[in-house]
Each structure stands twice: as C-alpha cells, then as structure tokens.
Structure 1
C-alpha cells in the first residue's frame, strides 16, 4: 500500500476533502434558506455573509492545495 501512495502528500487529500465539504455545506445552507425561520433582517444578513465566507474559505483551501508554482 505504501508503494501505491508513495508520491502523494496526505495533506493534499485532507485539504481537498475539507475544501469541497466547506464549499458544499455553504451552498447547501444557502439553498436551504435558514433565514426564513429567524426574525429580523440583521440575522438574515449575518447568515448570508457567514455562508458566503464559508464558501470562500473552502475555495481558498482548494486553491491553496492545487496552486502551481
């Protein structure tokens, strides 16, 4: 098994999985519209900003893993 994975960094796989998970979780939260159950525009804005920032963190992590030098 070690000969098969000799050229791979385990943090690449972890970064990829975590980045994809964060991006998909943010998109699923936006599609689920959780702000329809809260009262107030301020809470809605905070939830939308949080979802967008979560998506950006996931995308940045994927960009960090797959950047080329």
Structure 2
C-alpha cells in the first residue's frame, strides 16, 4: 500500500511548478521600475519552481 500523502505531495509540487511557470509567463517584472526588484522577483519565481520540483522528486523517491 502506498503512502496516502504521496498524491498530495505530488500535486502540491506540481502546483508550485505551474504557479512559477505562470508567473514567468505573465512577466511581472515589467511593472517594476527597479532592476533590483525585478531580479528578486525572478529569483523568487525560480526558487518556487525549484521547491516544487524538489517536492515532487522527494515524494517519488
């Protein structure tokens, strides 16, 4: 019998990846006047994608 939380972890990780990709597709950095703020936003989005992918990887191991 598999772990009941395996499906939840996979879905949560996939949702984080999709949210990150959707944020990148929306190009939120175009609304900022500051380069530093844009870089921080992009780093945050990439970190969100990495956490989501890591969660899916961890659950599937």
Which of the five TM-score ranges fits, normalised by the shorter chain? over 0.9
Which 4+ stretches in 1 moved above 3 angstroms? none
RMSD: 0.7
Higher relative contact order (CA 8 A, sep 6+): 2
Report the TM-score when normalising by structure 1. Answer: 0.84
User: Structure 1, unaligned stretches of length 5 or more?
Assistant: 1-6
Structure possessing the higher radius of gyration over alpha carbons: 1
Number of equivalenced pairs? 61
Greater helix fraction, Structure 1 or Structure 2: 2
Query: Please, which runs of 5 or more residues in structure 2 have no aligned partner?
Result: none
Structure 2 length as normaliser, TM-score?
Answer: 0.94
